[in-house]
Each structure stands twice: as structure tokens, then as C-alpha cells.
């Protein structure tokens, strides 16, 4: 119970979230390792509202702790939401380091509390300290936590985990209760979607090498049927398209001169994901700049 009180005390005033970095720091400093592993509630922003997400089934498991959270949320103006994942506190499989397992529960969506105006950064290949210095994303990259995706048992669980990874490593604050459709299709089918209809006779879909795309009309992610989601490379391709899904879901596509500008953040996060799994890649700053340019 003292674990919940400790967390709530550090969230005591929403006004304090004007300096969210300090808020997160204070939360983590105040919690011992045991408290981090037993945390029952985490702060985030959902649909623009300050929200406390509490453990699935907490009302039945610990009514006293639940009541404390309810009272606090009423006094401080937080929305309340129950985490629908039954494994909220069994999050060990979501991260490689057991000591970090339930820190994810506290920190998962706190990237949404960070400034929305910072530039995106990453370092990969031989290009270091890459900046996305246009206004395309209104989003920035965070250190975040790395999850153990090898233990995920279903495609939906993988998609949910990747969306959580994006939330953790950027200032997106997407509610991962809603997942996009994932469609694995042939090279011809994915080419037809890319061209918006019938393919020209001169086009050989096999030569296009389209591995994935986001169809904003259907709100669905298309993946080439040869993509193996058990590999880091396959997960990276899916993550790239999920970034586009989030960009369209949050209206960032309305703030660009052309759709190519949306590619920069997707490639930066894909590279960051692959690096976090020690997977070599060819995503360079020059490549990102090239594919992100608007063409007349």
C-alpha cells in the first residue's frame, strides 16, 4: 500500500507536470527497487487528458489501494483507466531486465508528458546525432525501455508491444487498446495498394521491393507475405509502418508538405529499434534525408 501512496504523493499536483522531466525523475527516485516492481499505477496522457492507469483487477485484489487511487484522482483532477492487460504486473516478459520489468508499468506512457516541440534525434550507422529539424513530427525520440519481443505469443501481442515501444521511445501517447489490422499479402497485392489500383503493364511488382506500407484509407498495415516477424528485421519493418499508423491516427499527416516527410521519424525509430537489438542495418542520415524530401 505504501508503494501506491509514494507514487501518488509524487503526482500530487498536475501543475507540476509543466516540468514533466522532473516529475518522472522524482517518481523514480522516490521508489525503491521493490516499489518499482510492485507499482500498481502509472501516469500518462490519453486523448490529451492526464490519466492514471491502474492495474487490471486492482479493485478486487486490493480495495484499499484502489480507493486511495480513486480519492487521489478526484482531488487532483486525473482521469482513471483500468489497464486491460491481465499481465500488467507480470510484465517481466516485456523487458529483458527483470529489475526493469514493472518500471515499464510506471514509465510506459510518460513520454506523453514530455515537451512536444523538441527535435527528433538518433544515432546510427556512421551518422551520429541526427536531427529531424522540420516541423513534420511534433514528436521526439526518448531513451525508453527495450522489451523482450521474443516471448510474445500472438501477432496482436507483438503489435501491442511495438506500439508500446514507440510510445516509450517517443512522445506519442497512443492508447494501445486499439490495434490496426495487419495484412500479409503478395508482392503484386502490395504493389496494387501502393499504386492505388491496377498496375501498369510495364511494372514488375517483384522488382519494386515494397516490404510494407500503411494504407490510411483502410487504417491497415500491409506487409509482404515473406516478411518473418520472428526476426528483428521483420519486427523493424512492422514498427516502421506502425509509426505511420500513429502519425495518421494523431493527425500529423495534416502538418506536412508531402507524405514523404512522414518517413523521417519512421526510419529514425526503426533504426533505433534495430540498434537496441544489436541488429545491423543500412539506415543512414543521408538515406533518411533522401526519402523524406518532397518531389515536385
User: How far apart are alpha carbons 246 and 276 in whole angstroms?
Assistant: 21
User: How far apart are alpha carbons 264 and 280 in whole angstroms?
Assistant: 19
Give pLDDT tens digits for 62-81.
787 778 778 777 777 777 87
**Distance of alpha carbon 193 from its chain centroid, rounded?**
25
User: How far apart are alpha carbons 41 and 65 in whole angstroms?
Assistant: 10
Confidence (pLDDT) at 8? 57
Q: How confident is the model at residue 214 (pLDDT cuts 50, 70, 90)?
A: very high
Q: Which of 19-28, 113-122, 248-257, 258-267 has the least mean pLDDT? A: 113-122
What's the farthest any 2 CA atoms get from each other in the chain?
A: 69
C-alpha cell at 73: 484522482
Confidence (pLDDT) at 120? 28
Confidence (pLDDT) at 13? 45
Give pLDDT tens digits for 156-209.
888 988 988 888 888 787 777 788 999 999 999 999 988 888 888 888 888 888
Entry pTM: 0.54
What φ, ψ does residue 181 adopt, rounded to 5°?
-70, 140
What φ, ψ does residue 39 adopt, rounded to 5°?
-55, 135
C-alpha cell at 92: 517481466
Give pLDDT tens digits for 89-124.
333 333 344 333 333 333 332 222 222 222 222 333
**Distance of alpha carbon 267 from its chain centroid, rounded?**
14
Location of C-alpha cell 509524487: 10
Confidence (pLDDT) at 202? 82
Q: Helices in 87-154 by DSSP H: which ranges? A: 103-107
Rg over CA atoms, the chain: 20
Length of the chain counted residue by residue: 296
Confidence (pLDDT) at 71? 78
The structural domains of the chain, with segments of one domain joined by +, span 2-113, 120-291
Summary mean pLDDT of the chain: 69
Inform me whether the pLDDT recorded for 248 exceeds 70.
yes
User: How far apart are alpha carbons 128 and 122 in whole angstroms?
Assistant: 7
Among 6-15, 27-36, 46-55, 82-91, the range of highest mean pLDDT: 46-55
Q: How confident is the model at residue 223 (pLDDT cuts 50, 70, 90)?
A: very high
Confidence (pLDDT) at 40? 62
Amino acid at each position: 500500500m505504501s508503494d501506491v501512496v509514494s507514487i501518488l504523493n509524487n503526482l500530487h499536483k498536475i501543475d507540476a507536470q509543466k516540468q514533466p522531466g522532473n516529475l518522472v525523475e522524482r517518481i523514480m527516485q522516490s521508489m525503491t527497487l521493490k516499489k518499482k516492481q510492485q507499482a500498481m499505477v502509472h501516469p500518462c496522457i490519453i486523448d490529451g487528458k492526464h490519466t492514471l492507469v491502474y492495474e487490471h483487477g486492482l479493485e478486487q485484489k486490493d480495495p484499499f489501494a484502489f480507493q486511495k487511487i480513486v480519492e487521489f484522482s478526484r482531488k487532483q483532477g486525473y482521469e482513471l483507466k483500468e489497464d486491460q492487460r491481465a499481465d500488467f504486473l507480470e510484465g517481466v516478459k516485456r523487458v529483458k531486465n527483470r529489475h526493469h520489468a514493472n518500471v515499464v508499468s510506471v514509465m510506459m506512457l510518460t513520454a506523453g508528458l514530455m515537451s512536444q516541440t523538441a527535435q527528433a534525434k538518433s544515432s546510427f550507422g556512421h551518422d551520429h546525432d541526427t536531427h529531424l529539424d522540420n516541423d513534420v513530427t511534433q514528436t521526439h525520440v526518448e531513451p525508453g525501455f527495450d522489451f523482450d519481443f521474443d516471448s510474445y505469443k500472438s501477432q496482436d501481442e507483438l503489435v501491442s508491444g511495438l506500439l508500446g515501444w514507440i510510445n516509450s521511445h517517443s512522445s506519442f501517447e497512443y492508447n494501445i487498446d486499439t490495434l490496426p489490422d495487419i495484412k500479409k499479402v503478395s508482392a503484386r497485392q502490395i504493389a496494387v495498394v501502393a499504386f492505388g489500383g491496377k498496375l501498369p503493364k510495364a511494372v514488375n511488382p517483384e522488382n519494386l521491393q515494397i516490404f510494407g506500407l500503411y494504407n490510411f484509407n483502410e487504417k491497415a498495415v500491409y506487409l509482404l507475405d515473406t516478411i518473418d516477424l520472428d526476426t528483428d528485421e521483420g519486427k523493424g519493418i512492422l514498427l516502421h509502418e506502425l509509426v505511420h499508423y500513429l502519425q495518421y491516427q494523431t493527425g500529423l499527416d495534416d502538418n506536412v508538405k508531402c507524405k514523404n516527410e512522414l518517413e523521417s521519424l519512421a526510419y529514425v525509430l526503426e533504426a533505433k529499434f534495430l540498434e537496441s537489438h544489436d541488429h545491423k542495418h543500412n539506415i543512414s542520415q543521408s538515406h533518411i534525408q533522401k526519402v523524406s524530401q518532397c518531389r515536385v
